[in-house]
Structure 1
Amino acid sequence: MKLTKLLASAALAVGLATTAFADGHEKTKVGFVYVGPIGDGGWTYQHDQGRLAVEAEFGDAVETVFQESVPEGPDAERVMTQMALSGADIIFTTSFGYMDATNNVAAKFPDIKFEHATGYKRLHDNVSTYDARFYEGRAVLGHIAGNMTETNKIGYIASFPIPEVIQGINSAYLHASKVNPDVEMVVIWAYTWFDPAKEADAAKAMIEQGVDVIMQHTDSTAPQAAAQEANANGGRVFTFGQASDMAAFGPKPRIASIIDDWSPYYIKRVGQLMDGTYEQTASWGGMPEGEVVIGEITDEVPASVKAEALAMVEAISNGTYHPFTGPITKQDGTVFLAEGEVATDVQLVTMDFYVEGITGDIPN
């Protein structure tokens, strides 16, 4: 069964390669490898919106191809290899766990550009990395969450214990606790990017513990649905869209969202490849670059809280505020940042601790 699947994929890849030249001129072929389905309503959906934006921007000058629901591991390496053999000029690999596979395949195809999302390994000249400063959006959501909770318990469904996720937990808690010193953060590690059943179970467990505001760093809309069900049974639970707007669950439980807009980056990089200005980079954009966006804040949120949240968005966007500004103390009581000190990027990308006030341990 697996062999048949692989042969079918290879045949499809070859077929796609030939269409790139069917109209008499060479197109730039752009590939995308996705960890989830494009209909996940979250992370992968938003990356695919970026792919569509590339098509809209460059029209017939480009051809895009994608493979969805590719597990992290050997399968990813096979898919990337097939995509490279099909004639791709640049391949975007859109999950942290694709890091080693991306570099392994890039070594075999030095003339193809590879771009790895949220990773840090650039072992070859043809590998670039890109990420978004999600912690900026988490700060805004944390501010809203701290104001909205009545139980003083906010929840965070975490995927894997990597710096990107830990940054988000800390940023959300810091800003929730600033407006509500009594707030408690309940963290459940799901050990998945996309698993609706696990995500729903995590949300339900939180609600049973008295959590009334839920954030997530996982990709499906299952936590939104779990909260919606709780509210239908007399509950009062709020959620935030993750990676994409998830507006279908508004105005409640979803009261705002953190949206990853990859379109500006994808258009820029493909454009640079086409005009000959492309260079290896390590990109980390955020609100100023339009890559981290806060979706509509619904009327469930008081006008004053909404105004404060939007003011924070403006301050982060214009560079007058950084979410990790001291004083900040680590969970173990040591100083992370002194009064007025701003975290460096190195400190952020190596973050492996909770801030003071969060209970529990970060799993290894």
Structure 2
Amino acid sequence: MNRRSFLTTTAMAAATMSLGIATSARADEPLKVGYIYVGPVGDMGYSFQHDLGRKAVEETYGDKVITSYVENVPEGPDAERVLTQMALDGNKIIFATSFGFMDAVVNVAAKFPDVKFEHATGYKRSANMATYDARFYEGRAVIGTIAGRMTKTNKIGYIGSYPIPEVIQGINSAYLHAKKVNPEVEMKVVWAYTWFDPAKEADAAAALIADGVDVMMQHTDSTAPQAKAQEAGILTFGQASDMAAFKPRPRVSSIIDNWAPYYIDRIGLMLDGKWESAATWSGIGDGVVEIGEITDAIPAEVKEEALALAAKIGSGEYHPFTGPINKQDGSVWLADGEVAEDSALSALNFYVEGITAELPK
């Protein structure tokens, strides 16, 4: 072997060894995980619960992961910028936690095929983009039952964020189950057109209170409606988070989003190299939707009734959308005993019969 061949062979061997060391070092590096929130982590509501899930990932996997988050990201073009920067920063899986991030996630996922993206409450997927959601309507059935039993004015208020299927499901479910225990009940709906804006949410709550409601629900993220209800002496339910600071009333129970089981499972799949794009829709039975403590402001028999319903939903014995149920216009939606399919619920765009409010288009 001449000197040039020897040097070339030696250089190649060294390069190969160096590459092996570098590859090994990369394999031992922590998995970088990013989260993007539509509100502040201190909202004590929806974004707060997602961040608890992020912290649960850190507690479970320790130095195997490095997590980060960006809060208060508006839905729209700014979300695409933030997602792009997260991918450039080396995050290998990114959780986008609000419905309005959907198109931004689609666009960024196409540009970074080696990064995994997960979008909460959406419906668009690709090879590197999964979706996950919670069956919030299951919890609404439980608190709707409590609301129907507790109202004295027979007027229940509901603060909606945006008229999308996820929110419409909840309004319909709450109304149907309030109506089952109190045929005289009415549902008053005010749309805030925001996920998190304490001022707008407070205004929506004030409008409902002025309209005579004495029990109020919300599908928005701040505690501002709780504060308004406390002033007015009416009953409320925590949304997404327990909102326990307002116990024992006005907050008499809550729907809690427990995202930790899902996040722990998906990061485990990433670490094992087994992640695949999927559509996941979890509920009470999966531990992702929880019913918060029902306080002593609620009579024991009503509490027992509500918890029994939650147990039946969680076991699969009962589905909140079981016919007969008509649409708002009186036409048949579900025949007697018929259960709504997930595909129909995912596209729900109408109120059920008995709700007199007009659904925005």
Structure 2 length as normaliser, TM-score? 0.92
Match of 1:284 in 2: 281
Separation of aligned partners in 2, 1:38 and 1:300: 29
| 2:254 maps to 1:251 | no
One-letter code aligned to 2:107: N
1:304 aligns with 2:301: yes
**Partner of residue 340, structure 1:** 337
| 1:195-247 CA-partner distances (Å, limit 9, x unpaired) | 1001001111111111000000000000000011122xxxxx00000000001
How far 1:22 moved relative to its partner?
10
What aligned pairs does 1:1-364 form with structure 2 within 5 A after superposition? 25-122=28-125, 124-231=126-233, 237-364=234-361
Task: Output the amino acid matched with 1:142.
Answer: G
- 1:277/1:292 CA distance change after superposition, 3 Å: same
- AA at the equivalent of 2:338: E
Q: How much does 1:24 deviate? A: 10
- 1:266-321 deviation per Cα after TM superposition (whole angstroms, max 9, x unaligned): 00000001011211100000011110000000001110000010001110111100
Q: Distance in 2 between matches of 1:359 and 1:80?
A: 41
Q: Residue 249 and residue 22 in structure 1: after superposition, are their counterparts in 2 closer, same or farther (change >3 A)?
A: farther
Using the TM superposition, give the Cα deviation of residue 23 of structure 1 relative to its aligned residue in structure 2, in angstroms: 11
Aligned to 2:6: none
SS in 1 for 2:67: strand
CA distance in 2, matches of 1:262, 1:24: 28
1:82 is aligned with what amino acid? Q
Distance change (3 Å), C-alpha of 1:299 and 1:22: farther
- CA-to-partner distance for each residue in 1:101-157, whole Å, 9 max, x for gaps? 0010001100000000000011x3100000000000000010000001000000000
Distance in 1 (alpha carbons) for counterparts of 2:328 and 2:81: 42
Q: Secondary structure of the residue that 2:54 maps to in structure 1?
A: helix
Note the residue ranges of structure 2 that are not aligned, 5 or more in a row: 1-23
**CA–CA distance in structure 2, aligned partners of residues 209 and 78 of structure 1:** 42
What is the distance in 1 between the residues matched to 2:123 and 2:184?
36
CA distance in 1, matches of 2:26, 2:89: 17
Partner SS, residue 211 of structure 1: coil
Q: 1:329 to 1:112 in 2, by over 3 A?
A: same
Instruction: Tell me the distance in 2 between the aligned counterparts of 1:273 and 1:33.
Output: 18
Task: Name the SS for the 1:131 alignment partner.
Answer: strand
Separation of aligned partners in 1, 2:348 and 2:88: 38
Match of 2:14 in 1: none
1:27-60 CA distance string (max 9 Å, x none): 0011000000000010000000000000000011
Distance 2:358 2:207 in 1: 18
Structure number with larger C-alpha Rg: 2
Q: Deviations over 1:232-264 (max 9, x none)?
A: xxxxx0000000000110000000000000000
SS in 1 for 2:255: strand
RMSD of the alignment, in Å?
Answer: 1.3
The aligned length equals: 338
- Deviating beyond 2 angstroms after TM superposition, the runs of 4 or more aligned structure 1 residues are 21-25
Q: Quick one: distance in 2 between partners of 1:346 and 1:93?
A: 22
Q: Distance in 1 between matches of 2:27 and 2:333?
A: 59
Distance 2:289 2:110 in 1: 31
- Aligned residue for 1:288, secondary structure, equals helix
2: distance between equivalents of 1:318 and 1:166?
Answer: 24
Name stretches of at least 5 consecutive residues in structure 1 with no aligned partner. Answer: 1-20, 232-236
CA shift at 1:361, angstroms? Answer: 1.4
Give percent identity, aligned residues only.
69
Deviations 1:55-77, CA, capped at 9 Å, x for gaps: 00001100000000000111100
Note the C-alpha offset of 1:25. 3.5
Distance 1:280 1:70 in 2: 24
Q: CA deviation at 1:347?
A: 1.1
What amino acid does structure 2 have at the position aligned with 1:164? E
